[in-house]
Chain A
Amino acid sequence: MSELNNRVVEKYRNNFLKEVEANVEEGDWVKMCMQCGVCAGSCPLGDAWEHTPQKLFMMIRAGKRDEVLSSDAMWMCTSCYNCIVRCPRELPITHIMHGLAHYAARLGLSPKNQPTQKFAQLFWDNLTKTGRVNELKLGLNLYFMNGFSEGVKKSLEMRSIGQGMFFAKRLNPMEILGGHGVKDQAGFHAMLDKAREIEDAKLDKFGK
């Protein structure tokens, strides 16, 4: 039998499921999916996904590790929670999507130039810098995330919206200089570092 065949055979062993259960947020729910497809039909971006949650769960059970972790599907989640409230098996699907996305990003397997991934990372970096979101910097970073010239173009496109927000006092150019943040910067960052440290230790344990 061919090497390809061996690979396909290996895919249908349930090791990847165990990996997901151990490492992905709410991943131990994946095995409880009963493949009804209600999530797929309830997703507002259902048409835009390469794989619906239903398929992702099946792929995990079929051991399709690379395909799952490099999928852009979970990055299409808008966090509308429609799948969660409709799932007859009460799987926390939204959280599993977030968990898969995070896990893929962490392993460096997520698709290149995935816009939501970039934005989500920008958002996290932005908020963890001072403890509060700086909307102006977040917006500018977003526009410039694909390089300087793209950024200028995008900024021009969005100019009227920015102006509208400014005149409505809902955008403050002075934020560029620093803006809001928590007072206890040291404690805040120590807490996040500690949380990350605990989580990394758990992942290392499984890796061994």
Chain B
Amino acid sequence: MAVQKDIGAYICSGCGLGDRLDCDQLEKVAKSDGRAKLTRQHEFLCSKAGVEMIQADIDAGDVSHIVLGACSRRAKTDAFNFENVVMTRTNLREGVIWVRPDTDEARESTQEMADDYIRMGCAEVKYQDLPAPSQEQGLNRNMLVVGGGITGMTSAIEAAKAGYNVGLVEKAGHLGGTAAALYKRVPERAPYSLPVDNGVDSLATQIQGNPRITVYLNSTVTKTSGAPGRFSVDISTESGDTTTENFGAIVQSSGFEPYDMSQLTEFSPESPDVVDQLGLEALAKEANGGAIKRPSDAKAVESVLFVQCAGQRSEKEGHLSYCSGHCCATSIKQAMYFKQANPDTDTVVMYTDLRTPGAGGEDFYRSAQKQGVIFTKGEVSEVTPGDTGPLVKFNDLILDENVEQNFDLVVLATGMLPNSGVNIDAPAPAEGEEVTETPVSILNLDYRQGKDIPQLVHGFTDSHFICFPYETRRTGIYTAGPVRRPMDIKQAMDDATGAAMKAIQAIENSSKGLAAHPRSGDLSFPSFRKEGCTQCKRCTVECPFGAINEDERGFPQYNEGRCRRCGTCMGACPVRVISFANYSVDSVGQQIKAVDMPDEFEEKPRLLALACENDAYPAMDMAAMNKVEYSAYVRAIPVRCLGSVNTIWITDALNSGYDGIMLLGCQKGENYQCHFVKGSEIAHIRMSKIDDTLSQLQLEKERVGTHEVAITDVERIPQIINEMAETVQKIGMSPFKF
């Protein structure tokens, strides 16, 4: 707080604020308690005249920091968009008058709320500086794509089309990945009636003729370091030759491995006439449109059974619990191979639930039915090598009977296992425990937290399927295709395009020092005061994005390009040396302290709500729009993520007399909705230890609550606040009001 800060406070009396609140009083508070150099009122602050009034003060050099007492920071963002000035918005409309009844009795407490928010705004702005880009940015516009299957090839072509140079690394000696092994693929265009060319040659030709794309065959990535805009990557061939190239962003499209069918012993996987779907593709390629021959004796197949969900969607030991998504359509396609070659082939697809996702899935299914493929709802229990071909035992689920039947060939529709490299969160093997298999790393990241992209479930890389697909917990690195979740070729190609687009965005943003999703465009970044740091490493361990490495002495090394600006490091720091220019332990801590604390006997409790700006705070705004009322005793402060909440804020709040504290964050765990993936989870862990603080202060446990809320909890959040108010009424006021 070295430079001179001239605070201007602007109070809006529009939208009913003037009727419900004493705006002159608010100005007075800004001046006296907020130490504002200048205060003004306007009846329509977001109007052209109102905005010009503020801009005139800025232009005259009268104010460097401004506090707007008007609507929520989420409203009128286009109007209140000032450059070169630090601004904070105090929420008098959604945060005060819209959540309070318009009655004479409520008038005093409503005014107190507004007064406090003005005090808090002035206090916050006093501890904020204008953020500027850090000095670590690089601008390398090249994109690395790891994996040369359908996904990787599509990503490379799409990025090249957008004008970016691409390095495409493929471990095999040719492009195409799994798709190259397919005789044909499921159609992705109307009329969705027959299998189509696998498409690999066409993509490979496009790549070969594209000057923007450099292909590295028989190669792997042996080291990745740096950050978005300045990744340095070692690409090594089998023979050990290594070249180091620089890239701005990375798409990982490392694909999948088929489930090992030899584990399905009940289906006689050793029998030559029992194959998996890729095995059948090989037979179909060999037949090349002619009769498909069974491996044991080269007899043309006259009857074939497809066993869906083989070793999938099953809780049995060694089976995959999930659905791999593509296998129903793949079996339908393969059944058509037989019908196309010989319409009299008996082709039976045996399923428990047939799933054909995507626009054309149902049409493709119908097309197979029209061609005479028989679909039987049944469960196969056993396949044994019979005299004339595999003997299949199954239960017909519609007719409820057990049947035994010989087929010439049995195809097992097994699942997908992601090629996601090393699981960096796997517990280290216990001493003496034999390590059977070490997975090969895909990216060999030179990151503090491990070599590969963190995984979410079943080994698939972490990405929020709905809200932010492709995003991983490594900024500037995007995953696409079946490494991210099970999918078919069409979905993988869509994925590839989406990931390429995200990668381009990362390149462009990081070069300017701007944050990626979800605080897109944010210039602020965390920095630390080295002299106070105790090298405890909490920040480097807890950062959800692996943004912080350690130097040889254990001090944190920030890679701002990798940072998402959530502040989880700031929340983690026990000595509070980490801060952002505009978001710090002080910028929030001083707001907490700025609240006017009535003494114990006034019977006016004060409740603190630290609300995640992504979901909880907008939900409170929406509650206000819906006129859902809540207690006038609460003072809400938006935080970047619950992960940024430093426990000192809780301790300070309790010490300064708050009667109850609520932390409102996003859902954590496997189905997380936390925009910073781990922030809410980490906050919950930290807060589980707050009981010690409470018992030291001899305060009741109920005074602090941590809640997982969603943006739709428009009724629930007011309820949580009101319940806290009731709790305080029950257990009494805090004795710490000095």
Contacts and interface: CB of A to CB of B under 8 A. Distances in A.
A59 interface: yes
A34 B398 CA distance: 11
Interface stretch (B123-131, B366-374, B583-591): B366-374
Contacts of B44: none
A44 B116 CA distance: 68
Looking at B366, B374, B398, B399, the one whose CB has the most chain A CB atoms below 10 A away is B398
A55 B404 contact: no
B713 interface: no
Looking at B354, B387, B404, the one whose CB has the most chain A CB atoms below 10 A away is B404
Interface in B383-440: 387, 396, 398-399, 403-406
A74 to B, nearest CB: 17
A35 B372 contact: no
B370 A31 contact: yes
B373 to A, nearest CB: 8
A61 interface: yes
Interface string B337-372: 000000000101000001000000000011001101
B369 A58 contact: no
Contact of A8 (B370, B372, B375, B403): B403
Given A12-B348, A34-B365, A55-B399, A61 B374 contact: yes
B376 interface: yes
A40 B369 CA distance: 21
A23 interface: no
Identify whether the interface residues of A are mostly helix, strand, loop, or mixed.
helix
B370 A32 contact: yes
A189 interface: no
B350 to A, nearest CB: 11
A61 to B, nearest CB: 5
Contacts of A5: 404
B517 interface: no
A13 B408 CA distance: 13
B730 to A, nearest CB: 52
A61 B369 CA distance: 11
Contacts of B399: 55, 58-59, 62, 64
Contacts of A32: 366, 369-370
Contacts of B404: 5, 8-9
B37 interface: no
Contacts of B369: 31-32, 34
Nearest to B302: A13
Nearest to A35: B377
Interface string A39-59: 000000000000000110011
A64 B403 CA distance: 13
A9 B405 contact: yes
Interface in A55-82: 55, 58-59, 61-62, 64
Contacts of B405: 8-9, 12
A61 B373 CA distance: 10
A14 interface: yes
A5 B366 CA distance: 31
Interface size class of A (residues with CB under 8 A): 20 to 34
A158 B623 CA distance: 69
Given A8-B403, A12-B348, A34 B354 contact: yes
Interface string A1-40: 1000100110011100100000000000001101100000
A62 B346 contact: no
Nearest to B371: A31
Nearest to A21: B372
B370 A14 contact: no
Contacts of A35: 375, 377, 398
A13 B346 contact: yes
Given A5-B404, A31-B369, A32-B366, A62 B376 contact: yes
A55 to B, nearest CB: 6
A34 B372 CA distance: 13
A35 B375 CA distance: 9
Interface in B87-123: none
A117 B87 CA distance: 86
Contact of A61 (B366, B370, B376, B403): B376
Contact of A58 (B346, B372, B387, B396): B396
B384 to A, nearest CB: 13
Contacts of A31: 369-370, 372, 374
Nearest to B403: A8
Nearest to B399: A58
A54 B375 CA distance: 13
Contacts of A17: 372, 374
A141 B632 CA distance: 85
Given A9-B405, A9-B406, A14 B398 contact: no
A88 to B, nearest CB: 9
B370 A58 contact: no
Looking at B303, B354, B372, B399, the one whose CB has the most chain A CB atoms below 10 A away is B399
Contacts of B372: 14, 17, 31
Given A8-B404, A8-B405, A12-B348, A58 B365 contact: no
Given A8-B403, A12-B403, A55 B375 contact: no
Contacts of A12: 346, 348, 403, 405
A31 B374 CA distance: 7
B605 to A, nearest CB: 57
A14 B303 CA distance: 11
Contacts of B403: 8, 12
B396 A14 contact: no
Nearest to A59: B399
Contacts of A89: 366
B398 A58 contact: yes
Contacts of A58: 376-377, 396, 398-399
Contacts of A54: 398
Contacts of B376: 58, 61-62
A49 to B, nearest CB: 14
A58 B366 CA distance: 16
Contact of B346 (A8, A14, A64): A14
B375 A62 contact: no
A32 B374 CA distance: 9
A62 B378 CA distance: 12
B354 A62 contact: no
Interface string B644-664: 000000000000000000000
A1 B404 CA distance: 11
B468 to A, nearest CB: 34
A207 B218 CA distance: 62
A55 B346 contact: no
A62 B369 CA distance: 14
Interface in B258-287: none
Contacts of B370: 31-32
A1 to B, nearest CB: 8
A5 B375 CA distance: 22
Nearest to B344: A14
A31 B370 CA distance: 7
A9 B372 CA distance: 18
A50 to B, nearest CB: 12
A62 B348 CA distance: 10
A17 B372 CA distance: 9
Interface in A95-118: none
Contacts of B374: 14, 17, 31, 61
Nearest to B400: A55
Nearest to B387: A1
A34 B303 CA distance: 21
A64 B376 CA distance: 14
Given A12-B405, A55-B398, A64-B399, 11 more contacts: A8-B405, A14-B346, A14-B374, A17-B372, A17-B374, A34-B365, A35-B375, A55-B399, A58-B377, A61-B376, A62-B399
26 contacts: A1-B387, A5-B404, A8-B403, A9-B404, A9-B405, A12-B346, A12-B348, A12-B403, A12-B405, A14-B346, A17-B374, A31-B370, A32-B366, A34-B354, A35-B375, A35-B377, A35-B398, A55-B398, A55-B399, A58-B376, A58-B396, A58-B398, A58-B399, A59-B399, A62-B376, A62-B396
